[in-house]
Homo-oligomer: A and B are copies of this chain.
């Protein structure tokens, strides 16, 4: 049983905390939070503190706070013979204070409040300086997921950048679509099966092979129609840029 203290109780640590408790291979012995959170059902027995000097002994301290607070908070932690691992996709390991052993435990997923996730499929990207710590983080990761991978800070940044494209940017495309439909009082629900299938397709096909649409087949007539429908501004600009990018990818000379 790996003893864990969760430092910070935002989205990521709330999900991690719940999953760790359910794993029966780890035990969250304490939560540190400055905001005195109301613990959700199932976690209410975990002691909470807002005093860093009162931190309990544990094997892993999971530091899940905003990126720009990680360095500072890691400096304020008491010196312990413990592993402190942050959960961020874009902060380098060496941003953590060297006063404790350092690691990263990054679950590659988007977490929302009140939306349960199945951890078993979530890649857990781990990093540590010592092999024993890598092993410990791997053990903790395996308690949650079937996919634990050792990733360097540099690789993790690349992964995080790629994740921004498939998650944040894709979601914004969904938003643009919803505003396009709104202007004609059409229901966003009509697009949902297409959204799902678009994602499912690349589970088995490469995105390169899955590409379809007017830009892919160089259908200038439809592209012109679409540009005509879009008001001047960012949406039109974006339409043009992505269309050109697709045409370029598939070999049209620009």
| Contacting residue for A110 out of B90, B121, B194, B221, CB 8 A | B194
| Contacting residue for A196 out of B172, B192, B200, B222, CB 8 A | B200
Contact A210 B165 (CB under 8 A): no
Interface string of A150-164 (1 = CB under 8 A from B): 010011011111111
Q: Tell me the smallest distance from the CB of A231 to a CB of chain B, in Å.
A: 12
**Complex Cα–Cα for A147 and B189 (A):** 10
**Interface locus among A28-36, A39-47, A133-141, A234-242:** A234-242
Q: How many copies does the complex hold?
A: 2
Q: Tell me the smallest distance from the CB of A27 to a CB of chain B, in Å.
A: 26
Which of A174, A181, A213 has the largest count of B CB atoms less than 10 A from its CB? A174
Q: Tell me the smallest distance from the CB of A210 to a CB of chain B, in Å.
A: 6
**Interface locus among A1-9, A48-56, A97-105, A245-253:** A245-253
Determine whether A81 belongs to the interface, using a CB cutoff of 8 Å to chain B: no
Contact A207 B171 (CB under 8 A): yes
Residues in chain B near residue A188, CB distance under 8 A: 206-207
Contacts A164-B214, A167-B194, A191-B108; is A158 near B178 (CB within 8 Å)?
Answer: no
Q: Tell me the smallest distance from the CB of A54 to a CB of chain B, in Å.
A: 30
